[in-house]
Amino acid sequence: MNVISLTCESRQSFGKQPSKEMRRKELVPGVIYGGSEVIHFYADETTLKPIIYTPDFNLIEIEVEGKKYKTVLKDVQFHPVNENVVHVDFQELVSNRKVKVSVPLQFYGDSKGVKQGGTLVPVMRKLLIKSTPENLVSEIKGNISALRLDQSLYVKELEIPEGIEVLTVRSTPVAYIEVPRSLKSTENAALLAAAKKGIDLDEEGEGENAE
């Protein structure tokens, strides 16, 4: 699990005017909650970018006044006009206390449908899970090897590590193999039907039984 370190300053002043002054200096107010105390801080906006603008799931170790907190990013508020970051929320990780997070989905395998000209189309990029800090993972994997044309991979078919509770409905599709345009025409309906059954298509578009 990748851990990003972030050094921040304790925030003592609150209200619109102090917040406005911080943003003028490109400082972003934030909060850490979920532990024994609520910590208010501010951080340089540039140090937050690798944490906010990434598809990866990371643990964030925040140091405030010499004390370190292991956290996960929970919420980011953006300015409605210029889209600058105006506030960040982090949840402190407490041993044996479950936390809800969204982790990336990683698909692998050689799909027969892709080999026949289809395209893997992700329906979901991340999966909502619940776990203790000790069992958190950086990604959830899904094997697409068995997928043929026009077939989907579902939440229930993902590889879920022990200690992870999935909060998304099991019957939800997470990816599918899109049929190539060349097989969508009426005259190629028979070829498409054959491909869906796992029959290999030769270069002339005729089917032959797969070994």
Kindly list the structural domains of the chain, giving each domain's residue range(s) and its CATH number in brackets, ordered by start.
3-93 (2.40.240.10), 100-208 (2.170.120.20)
Instruction: Decide: 39 and 91 in contact? Cβ < 8 Å.
Output: no
pLDDT at 122: 97
Q: What is the three-class DSSP state of 136?
A: coil
* Greatest Cα-to-Cα distance within the chain, rounded to the nearest angstrom: 74
Question: What's the chain's Rg over C-alpha atoms?
Answer: 24
The answer to whether the CB of 60 falls within 8 A of the CB of 50 is no
Confidence band for 201, pLDDT divided at 50, 70 and 90: low
Straight-line distance from the first to the last Cα atom of the chain, in angstroms, rounded to the nearest whole number:
41
Which residue has better confidence, 132 or 24? 132
* pLDDT at position 52 over 50: yes
Query: Which pLDDT does position 190 carry in this prediction?
Result: 52
Res 204: pLDDT = 41
**pLDDT exceeds cutoff 90 at 79:** no
Rounded to whole angstroms, the Cα distance separating 31 from 204 reads 63
Q: How far apart are CA 196 and CA 191, in angstroms?
A: 9
pLDDT at 185: 53
Extract the tokens encoding 124: 């979901």
Please report which confidence band the pLDDT of residue 193 belongs to, taking 50, 70 and 90 as the band edges.
low
Nearest C-alpha neighbor of 139 from the set 174, 172, 90, 110: 174
Max mean pLDDT among 19-23, 81-85, 89-93 falls in: 89-93
pLDDT higher at 85 or 197: 85
Q: Are 202 and 117 in contact (CB under 8 A)?
A: no
Encode pLDDT of 12-51 as tens digits: 877 777 777 777 788 999 999 999 999 999 999 999 999 9
Handedness of CA 87, 42, 136, 175 (dihedral sign): positive
pLDDT for 21 equals 76
Is it the case that residue 135 has pLDDT exceeding 70? yes
Q: Sort strands 173-178 and 207-208 into parallel, antiparallel or unpaired.
A: unpaired
The pLDDT of residue 19: 73
pLDDT band for position 207 (cuts 50, 70, 90):
very low
Mean pLDDT of the 194-205 span: 54
Q: Spell out the alpha helix ranges (H) of 69-123.
A: 112-115
CA 81, distance to chain mean position in Å, is: 26
Q: Note the pLDDT of residue 160.
A: 97
- Is pLDDT at 168 greater than 50 in this prediction? yes
Instruction: List CB contacts of 93: < 8 A, sequence separation 6 or more.
Output: 34, 59, 70, 71, 72, 99, 133, 136
What pLDDT does 36 receive? 93
Element (H, E) at 194: helix 189-196
Identify the pLDDT of residue 208.
Answer: 42
